[in-house]
Copies of this chain bind each other. A is one copy, B any other.
Amino acid sequence: MASDPLQDQHIDVPALRDLLDGRYRDVRNRVRDNLVEHASILDEAETLSTDDYRDRVRDVVVELAGTGQTGYGLPKEYGGGGDIGASVAAFETSAFGDLSVLVKLGVQFGLFGGAVLQLGTERHHKKYMADITSGALLGCFAMTETGHGSNVQALGTYATYDKETQEFVLQTQDDSARKDYIGNAARHGTMAAVFAQLVVDGENHGVHALLAPLRDDKGKVVDGVRIEDCGHKHGLNGVDNGRIWFEGLRVPRENLLNKYADVDEDGTYHSPIDNPDRRFFTMLGTLVQGRVCVGGGAINASKVALKIAVTYGNRRRQFGPKDSETEIVLLDYGMHQRRLIPLIARTYALHFAQERVSADLHRIFSDVDGASERRRKALESRAAATKSLGTWAALDTIQRSREACGGAGYLSVNRFSALYDDVDVFTTFEGDNTVLLQLVAKGRLTDLAAEFNSLNQVDMVGYVAGLAVETVVERTQMRSLLERLRDAVPGRGGLSDEDAGLLDPDWHLSMLRWREDHLTSGAARRLKSGMDGGTAPEEVFSRVQPHIIAAARSHGERLFYEAFLTKVQNTPEGTNKRALGALCDLYALSLIEGDRAWFMEHGRLSGDRSKAVQAAVEELCRQLRPHAEDLVDAFGVPPELLRTELF
């Protein structure tokens, strides 16, 4: 570990920035320019009244729509760009700016526009898509209810078909079924995609989406709808979240978004998908783009925080040798390096993981019919892992960055304040992180089987127990055995036994894979033995739940590491590659270090080897320290958006 491959080297920052920007460099630069043009909103967010701030955010959203930045993912025939990957890149880059704008963009073009596009058919597209793309028609995505958040199948809004008038009657069952936290509802939305139980002739066909008017031309709420403001929130106060009650609102039959199910004039319900659960999860599957976007947004928001904290840490001085005039730069303190440099490594890993999931999304959704269900499910699993672990990581990165700037970090002018408060809810919306990790685990446990998608974790218990668990266990254990054999190579020359192979990607990968396989097969076994022992499924689930979450996390982290490693391997030789390689090593070793207790408990790490892992993490931090500012500069956060007084 003693040799430093980066000594006296300089990172080529523009080249590294291009590498990070990737295929969509021009899109990202266009968004950067747009954000700089609207940079004043970062100041206005503090000074405007809530109403004015919301209107200002709306105006920016509509102006951005005018530049074409918001329509990359919408069809060309309606003024969009027809490029899903570009739309994700544009969205996540927007997270360098005001995050209320970001979220309002997501509500309008991703959720509302996406629902009309993905769940509707030509009749809806022709009527609405052009106005949605231009921002002339602002809409809501009315799914979540006060009493029904993660459990969407239990929604209490009803759309009952009235054959006489060929209308659906929308009714909120009780207060727990009011739509809640709905963006665009409190002030600007004139229409909503409403998720409701579809009842035809007394039969409930499950949750479907319909378009419903909310406000008339003059902005007055229509009869049959009641709206309440959600009020002040921890962050994102530029977004007008509201609650909606439907009180007998009638909408024409044609308002059913009928791609996956339709009701004929005479009240005949039909769907190309027979199984109601499968139909429901097919509809929900279209949400995956939202999750990909939210994860990417959080990861990019955390880059802003890290850029500020690392630059400050490289300038600010505090204490020093007695009788010396010059104090020591913060980043020269070991603890400060330990605090910030692994965060750079993790942010790079998440960036490349996000690039991968976004590319998968692009390929699968650009050619819907060609994508197998298995590939779609793999995408959903990857998106759930990246969104959940990426948003938690972002929140952690922002808070640590704030603390690394001391009291100055507490002043809103330095951006941490809004970044933290705005990103906070990213861990909850578009799928609560814990619930999403259960989805990931379920996919692993059932090997991406058809029932994969159900969010009801208790049902999973019986399902997994009913599977040929031995197959899962055997499959994973066989791999483990091979890994163990591969792992038993003798130490390389010149290195002590504890250090041997610490920087070997094969070792990193084998450790991460082994953990994942062991946790997954262990969870399957515990679920099965719990059920076999006659315990109630909910009790079995409750007890195994932390194990399941750990399995999901380990899966996600392995995917992230692989994405990072692949990127390093494909980078041309040179200082940038060496720097990325060191960051990638640091990421892997930080993961192993973070779970080293588990590895020791399972005989995969000796106490001495575990200490060597920690020493290697510290050494990598020291080696990367001179390059820290270059590494965050490569994120390409425009200086105009830093809005800081810190340097």
* A549 contacts B by Cβ under 8 Å: yes
Assess the A335–B407 pair: CB atoms within 8 A.
no
Which segment of A51-59, A267-275, A291-299, A420-428 sits at the interface?
A420-428
| A77 part of interface (Cβ distance < 8 Å) | no
Known: A233-B417, A338-B546, A458-B328. A144 touches B407 (CB 8 A): yes
Q: A545-B335, A549-B335 are in contact. Are A234 and B596 (CB under 8 A)?
A: no
Q: Chain B contacts of A333 at CB under 8 A?
A: 541-542, 545
Q: Are A428 and B407 also in contact (CB < 8 A) when A334-B545, A456-B319 are?
A: yes
- B406 contacts A424, CB within 8 Å? no
Nearest B-chain residue to A599, judged by Cβ: B597
Chain B nearest Cβ from A406, distance in angstroms: 5
A-side binding surface: helix, strand, loop or mixed? helix
* Residues of chain A from 531 to 557 with CB closer than 8 A to chain B in the complex: 536-538, 541-546, 549
Given contacts A335-B546, A412-B234, A434-B335, contact A459 B618 (CB under 8 A): no
A507 an interface residue at 8 Å Cβ cutoff? no
- B411 and A232: CB pair below 8 A? yes
- With A151-B319, A234-B417: A407-B542 Cβ-Cβ less than 8 Å: no
Tell me whether A543 and B334 are in contact in the complex, defined as CB-CB below 8 angstroms, given that A406-B428, A416-B234 are known contacts.
yes
- Contact partner, A230, options B150, B411, B428, B457, Cβ 8 Å: B411
- Minimum CB–CB distance for A221 against chain B, Å: 21
Residue of B nearest to A416 (CB): B234
Interface size class of A (residues with CB under 8 A): 35 or more
Q: Which residue of B lies closest to A617 (CB)?
A: B546
- Asked if A458 and B407 sit within 8 Å, CB to CB, the answer is no
Rounded to whole Å, the gap between the CB of A294 and the closest CB of chain B is: 14
- Bound together, the chains give a CA A407 to CA B433 distance in angstroms of 12
* Chain B residues within 8 Å of A459, by CB: 321-322
Partner of A607, one of B456, B538, B543, B600: B600
Indicate whether A570 reaches chain B with its CB closer than 8 angstroms.
no
A 301-342 to B, binary, CB cutoff 8 A, 1 in contact else 0: 000000000000000001111100001100011110110000
Quick check: is A466 within 8 A (CB to CB) of the other chain?
A: no
Cβ A542 vs Cβ B334 within 8 A: yes
Q: Are B231 and A412 in contact (CB under 8 A)?
A: yes
A483 sits at the interface (CB 8 A): no
**Contacts A412-B232, A544-B334, A546-B338: A603 and B607 contacting too (C-beta < 8 A)?**
yes
A625 to B610, CA, bound (A): 35
Is there a chain B Cβ closer than 8 Å to A487's Cβ? no
**Which residues of B are found within 8 Å of A608, using beta-carbon distances?**
601
A402 at the interface (CB under 8 A from B): yes
Contact B600 A334 (CB under 8 A): no
| Binary interface encoding of chain A residues 224-244 relative to chain B, with 1 for a CB under 8 A from any of its CBs, else 0 | 000000111111000000000
Q: Contact at A233–B412, with CB atoms within 8 Å?
A: yes
Kindly state the separation between the CA atoms of A328 and B333 in the bound complex, as whole angstroms: 49
Known: A150-B318, A596-B597, A601-B607. A232 touches B413 (CB 8 A): yes
Rounded to whole angstroms, the CA-CA distance of A146 and B154 in the bound complex is 54
Mark interface residues in A129-163 (1 if CB within 8 Å of B CB, else 0): 00000000000000010100111001000000000
Chain A stretch 399-418: residues in CB contact (< 8 A) with chain B: 399, 402-403, 406-413, 416-417
Q: Are the CB atoms of A411 and B233 closer together than 8 Å?
A: yes
When C-beta atoms are compared, the residue in chain B nearest to A539 turns out to be B332
Query: Which residues of B sit under 8 angstroms from A231, Cβ to Cβ?
Result: 46, 411-413
Is A602 among interface residues, defined by CB-CB distance under 8 A? yes
Complex: A231 Cα to B411 Cα, angstroms: 7
Q: Is A181 in contact with chain B by the CB < 8 A criterion?
A: yes
Contact B327 A151 (CB under 8 A): yes
| Chain B residue at minimal CB-CB distance from A594 | B597
Determine the chain B residues whose CB is within 8 A of the CB of A365 once the complex forms: none
Chain B residues with CB under 8 Å of A321's CB are: 458-459, 536-538
The answer to whether B407 touches A181, judged by C-beta atoms less than 8 angstroms apart, is: yes
Contact among B234, B335, B337, B600 for A601, CB-based, below 8 A = B600
Within 8 A of B (CB), among A582-636: 596-597, 600-603, 607-608, 610-611, 618
Give min CB distance, A388 to chain B, whole Å. Answer: 11
Closest B residue to A180 using CB positions: B407
**Across-interface contacts of A335 in B (CB, < 8 A):** 434, 545-546, 549
Do B432 and A406 have beta carbons less than 8 Å apart? Answer: yes
Please tell me if A429 contacts chain B, counting CB pairs below 8 Å.
yes
**Is B428 in contact with A403, judged by CB distance below 8 angstroms?**
yes
Given A335-B549, A403-B428, A611-B601: A456 and B411 within 8 A (CB)? no
Give, as a whole number of angstroms, the nearest-CB distance from A148 to chain B.
8
The verdict on A284 contacting chain B, using a C-beta distance below 8 Å, is no
The docked-state distance in angstroms from the alpha carbon of A253 to that of B140 is 68
Contacts of A403 in B (CB 8 A): 427-428, 433
- Encoded as 1 (CB less than 8 Å from any B CB) or 0, chain A from 457 to 498 comes to 111000000000000000000000000000000000000000
Interfacial chain B residues near A364, Cβ < 8 Å:
none
Q: Which residues of B contact A319 (CB under 8 A)?
A: 150-151, 455-458
Whole-angstrom CA separation of A403 from B434 in the bound complex: 10
Question: Distance (Å) between the CB of A258 and the closest chain B CB?
Answer: 28
Chain B residue at smallest Cβ distance from A454: B322
8 inter-chain pairs at a CB distance below 8 angstroms, sorted by A residue, are A233-B412, A235-B417, A322-B459, A333-B541, A338-B546, A407-B428, A597-B597, A601-B608
Further contacts, 15 of them, CB under 8 A, given A334-B541, A546-B618:
A149-B318, A150-B319, A180-B408, A231-B411, A232-B411, A233-B411, A233-B412, A234-B417, A319-B457, A320-B456, A320-B458, A403-B433, A410-B425, A421-B421, A600-B610
